[in-house]
Each structure stands twice: as C-alpha cells, then as structure tokens.
Structure 1
C-alpha cells in the first residue's frame, strides 16, 4: 500500500462513527463511514479499503457476519470495535478472522496506533507475496497478472505496464508525456499512443467505459487514476 491509506468505519452509533472518522482524517487517512452492515457490505464488494473497522452490534447484518463475508474474499486487515470486552467475546472475534479487537470505551490515540500497526503488517505481507493492492485492484507483481473487483483481466504487456504505473501513482494528475516516458521509455513519441491505450484499458477496468470511475481524464493535463472509483 502506497499513498493515502483508506479506512472503512462501520459503526451504528453516529457519535462514535463521526469521532473516529474525524480523528483518522486528521491523521492523514482517507475514511469512508457506514452506519449499518448492509450499506457497508455493498460498498466493500465494490472496493476493499486498506483497513476495515467494524462494530460487532450493527443493524441489518451483524458485524460478525460482515467480517465473515469480507474475510471469505479478502485478507484486508479488520479491527473490531465493541462493548463486548470479555475474553470469550474476543476469542469469538478472532475465530471468524479479525486481526485486532478494541473494546469500548477506547482512546482515539490507541485506535490510531492499532490502525498503523495493522497497515505495517499488511504492507510486509503484501511485499513478501509480491502483490500490490489498491481499492478494487490487485496486481500480482511476480506473475504480471491483475484483477479488478475480484475478476482477472486479460491485459497485453503494455496495458499491464500502464495499469501498474497508474496504480502506483494513484490520485496524481499524469501528463501524456510523463506516461510515455515512464511506461514506454520514450522521450519523444506520439501522445495518441497513450490515448489509445487508455481507451483500451478503460474497456477492461471500468464497469461503464463511457462513464469512467477509475481512469479519469484530467483536462489540460492528461489522466488521473482512482483505484476506489471515487471520481
């Protein structure tokens, strides 16, 4: 994980949800917040953040069930927040795949430190596995394969190189000349080459290439890539 770390906070208590979100944003995290398990499940199916913080007692579906579903498809670090602080409750949480457990009431500083620790462990695990994960995208650096929203893409060698460059430079305005230089290795070349490859890549990564959510045109500059489709 490079760049801004994204955190999803799933908490039905609006006071806790807003306080956690504000604190993490103030410490440099990108935070998305959800007040129930159903809306969180829908969003997390579209794009998995770098860390998920879940309250066990949620309306709609429980935090436990949300964690089970998420763990079945992703190894994203999960921290559980709960008023249930007994040892048996914590053991239950670890049994369905959470990585950390913080009982209420808790200090925001401890929460932030635990999130940072989860991020560090995840970065080490990804590096050893040769994977780059960002939002809806997973890239296998060793085998040069890539997935979006859980589906493997069929990419040419140049399309893979372009996608990797975009993912590594998420949320940066990238000019066509820079892309030509870094992806093609050309100091002089036709900018239309980039335009054609961007169009082809959009057809493979976007749900609707006519209304792109990931690979956006930055007018007057070039392109901007958003792995989580927030455009």
Structure 2
C-alpha cells in the first residue's frame, strides 16, 4: 500500500487552512494545520512531514523567517503562500530556499497540483545508479547529493533537478521553458521567474563552496548553459 504523503499547512486564516486541508485530504494526502509560524520548526523536527505549505503573514514568526529556519536543518519541500504581489517578496521566499510560491487568491485545485508536482520531483526514484561529474562538481542521483570541490551543497529538490538537467548536457543552452519542462515538470504562470531565482541560488551556493568556479552561464535572449572552462 502506497504511503500517504503528509502535508503541513502553516496558515493563520482558518477558512483557508480548512479548505486546503479538505482538498488535499480528498486528493489522498494526510494533513496537519498550524496557525503560528513559531511552532513550525519544532513540528517538522518531531513529525517529519513530506512538504510544508507556508503562509508568509503569520503570527509568532513570519513565513520568511520560518523558511530560513527550516532550511537551517532540513531540505523538506516548501511552497510559500502569499497575498503580497510585489515581485521582490515572491523571489525572496525562493532565495531563502522555498521550492515554489503561490499567490492568493488561488484555486485549491492549483495548490493540489503544485503539491503533487513538487513531491514528484523530490521523490522520483532513479532507474539506475548514476553519478555525473563535471570538473570539481559531483552530482549523485541515488543519494541526491551534490559536492563541489569536496564541499557538500544543500540543495532544494528544484535546485537539484535543474542542476542535474544542465550537467547532463554540458554546453547545451536551455531556455527557461525547457528547464520548466525537464526539471520542474509542470508549468504555471510566473514559473519563468522562478527558474531565474533557482539559478541565482545555485550560483550563490556553488560560489560559496568554490569561489573561483563559474559554471552556470546566462545566454542573452536564450537561457542558460552549464560549462566549466
């Protein structure tokens, strides 16, 4: 019997939390709701949910701080829920390590689809053991670990999949839409900017591990490519 994925919903508006829980449970998920941000990290440590739906505006501790706190000890998939429309707020959530964001008002069906997409790319089994090595970067698909110059990188599921796609075809230029299809696995409005945020995060993490290494290059008007010269 397939194990039900366990979703933690951190949302202080009861109607929204209850609606999300109902739709997710109808889709076959188990859920638990918290209405305060300062209770999220302890719950994740103790109960080990499979994914967190995290509102930004929360009492106790806002979603940005919660996301940062969770990323300090876990790579659990995180989808941010926000009523803020400013692009910088959306992207800040991704820079802190979120895998996706959804803007309010939203369709509960869209949330379920996003949850399934993020879980799919974080739990996809590999058919065979495969390790990709390009220069000082080693990506292991089985363990889902990446090291740069011997230093381990902590990547979100989305960052891992984007890097895997690009390392599998060095020197090939990938458009944003291609990276959406191959790495993210589904397309929603705003995802092209999400790709830019994930690429920026990958560059920062790689540079922190090996400051002189340049490997993800922007190709003006076309997209991105992986190359170690």
Residue 46 of structure 1: how far off its partner (Å)? 1.0
Q: Structure 1 residues 126, 45: CA separation in 2 closer, same or farther (over 3 Å shift)?
A: farther
Number of the residue aligned with 2:15: 15
Number of the residue aligned with 1:84: 84
1:23-63 CA distances to partner (integer Å, 9 max, x unpaired)?
A: 10111000011010122222112122111000001100111
Number of the residue aligned with 2:97: 97
In our comparison, the structure showing a higher alpha carbon Rg is 1
Counterparts of 1:10-159 in structure 2, within 5 Å, are: 10-124=10-124, 128-130=141-143
Distance of 2:20 and 2:126 partners within structure 1: 26
Number of the residue aligned with 1:199: none
Residue 125 of structure 1: how far off its partner (Å)? 7.4
SS across alignment from 2:53: strand
Distance of 1:39 and 1:15 partners within structure 2: 19
Distance of 1:45 and 1:59 partners within structure 2: 20
Distance of 2:5 and 2:69 partners within structure 1: 22
Residue 120 of structure 1: how far off its partner (Å)? 0.5
Number of the residue aligned with 1:136: none
Structure 2: which 5+ runs fail to align? 128-140, 145-229
Distance of 2:72 and 2:125 partners within structure 1: 18
Structure 1: which 5+ runs fail to align? 132-231
SS across alignment from 1:7: strand
SS across alignment from 1:129: coil
Distance of 2:126 and 2:83 partners within structure 1: 32
